[in-house]
Amino acid sequence: MATATDYRNMSVEDLNKELIDLRREQFNLRMQQGAGNMPKVHRFGAVRKDIARIKTVLTEKTQAGS
């Protein structure tokens, strides 16, 4: 779990790659939950918050560029 400051120091391409990785992890967690195999319940909230942080920073960067 990274902070918004860490994400602000990354480039847009890196942020998009990280966002894809986090969405993939979120999907895998949902599949594990559906199969009844959930060892890391706390990751749901952490991944969701990281996705929100990245989306916020991406919005800031696009608004600053226009």
Residue 59: give its domain's CATH number. Answer: 1.10.287.310
Instruction: Find the helix packing angle between 43-65 and 12-34, rounded to 10°.
Output: 150
Pick left, alpha or beta for residue 3 (phi over 0 → left; psi -120 to 50 → alpha; otherwise beta): beta
CB 2 within 8 A of CB 53: yes
Q: Give the span between the Cα atoms of 32 and 35, in whole angstroms.
A: 5
Note down the domain range covering 40.
4-65
Q: Give how many domains the chain has, as a whole number.
A: 1
CB 22 within 8 A of CB 54: yes
pLDDT one digit per residue (tens) for the chain, 66 residues = 788 899 999 999 999 999 999 999 999 999 999 998 877 889 999 999 999 999 999 999 999 876
pTM of the model: 0.88
